[in-house]
A = this chain, B = another copy of it.
C-alpha cells in the first residue's frame, strides 16, 4: 500500500546508485528503471526527460544537504564558528553517503553546459549561506572589512570542492572529516603566521 507509492523517490534513489556504480555515461534510463523496479515508460510519468531526473536528483539531495548546513550553522555564535561548522557538515554529509559523493563530485560534472547551469541554480542557496557568514564576519569585525564577497565565496567553495573531489578520486581512502579544522584554519588565516 505504501511501498508502491513514492515512485518518484524510488527512481531518484535508483539513479544515484546506478550512476555511482556505472558512471554517468553508462547510466541508461532503462538501467535506472530496472534498479527502481519500474518499467522504462514509468520514468516518464514522473520526470520530463532524462535530464530532469538528474536535476531533480540534485535538487532533492542538495536541498537536504544545504538544509542541514543551514541548521547546523545558525546555532553557532561567531562567523568563524559558523564557517567551521559549515565545513565540518559539508564533509560529514558527503562522507556519510559515498554514492552521493561520487555522483556530485565526479559523475554529474560530465553533464552538458545546460544541465550544469541548472545545477548551479541549486547551488545558489548554498552560496548564499556562505555569503551570510562572510558578511556576518565582516560586521563582527572578525574578518577584514572590504572583502570581495564573490572572491571569498569562490575561495571557500573552490577549496571545499577541490578538497572533496580529491578525496573522492583517491577512493575516499582517508577520513576527510579530520581535515575540516585545518581547511578552516587555512581559509581564515591563510598561509602566513597567525600573528
Min distance, Cβ A55 to any Cβ of chain B, angstroms: 16
A150 to B29, CA, bound (A): 38
Report Cα–Cα, A15/B154, bound state, in Å. 30
Contact call B163/A151, Cβ cutoff below 8 A: yes
Q: CB-defined interface of A152-195 with B at 8 Å, one 1/0 digit per residue? A: 10110111111100100100000000010011001111111111
Contact of A192 among B107, B113, B144, B151 (CB under 8 A): B144
Q: Is the C-beta of A36 less than 8 angstroms from some C-beta in chain B?
A: no
Output the least CB separation between A21 and chain B (Å): 12
Q: Which chain A residues numbered 27 to 59 have a C-beta less than 8 Å away from chain B?
A: none
Question: At the interface, yes or no: A134 with Cβ under 8 Å from chain B?
Answer: yes
CA distance A145 to B23 in the complex (A): 40
Smallest beta-carbon distance A156→chain B, Å: 9
Closest to A155 in B: B159
